[in-house]
């Protein structure tokens, strides 16, 4: 394995430390798992985003332009990710 160094916000490090302690999994392994499987960590892929935009536009009879639909979907995704992190 190759070592990579990065800076993370203190709150994220605290959450990772708490989860590592709770699960008994090393913090580095948690980070690797999340990088390898973003969907499992509550993240959305770009494909998820585009599918949601298309579904919203279809549901509303294409009454929203693509930019408006993207703004709505982005706001919902941010809200969902924020809730997923606060649940940990």
My answer on whether 15 and 28 are in the same domain is yes
Q: Which residues have CB under 8 Å from 77's CB, separation 6+?
A: 44, 49, 52
**pLDDT in tens for each of the 88 residues of the chain?**
888 888 888 988 998 999 899 999 999 998 888 777 655 556 677 888 889 999 999 998 888 898 998 998 888 887 777 655 555 5
What's the pTM value of the predicted model, to 2 decimals? 0.46
- How many CA within 13 A on the CB side of residue 29? 7
Kind and range of the H or E run holding 32: helix 27-36
In a domain, 32, yes or no: yes
Per the structure, the count of domains in the chain is 2
Can you give the residue range of the structural domain that contains 62?
45-88
């Amino acid at each position: 394995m190759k070592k990579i160094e990065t800076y993370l916000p203190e709150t994220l490090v605290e959450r990772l430390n708490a989860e590592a302690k709770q699960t008994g999994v090393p913090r580095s392994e948690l980070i690797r798992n999340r990088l390898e499987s973003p969907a499992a960590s509550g993240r959305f892929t770009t494909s998820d985003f585009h599918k949601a935009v298309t579904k919203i536009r279809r549901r509303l009879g294409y009454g929203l332009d693509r930019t408006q639909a993207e703004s709505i979907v982005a706001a919902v995704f941010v809200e969902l990710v924020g809730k997923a992190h606060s649940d940990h």
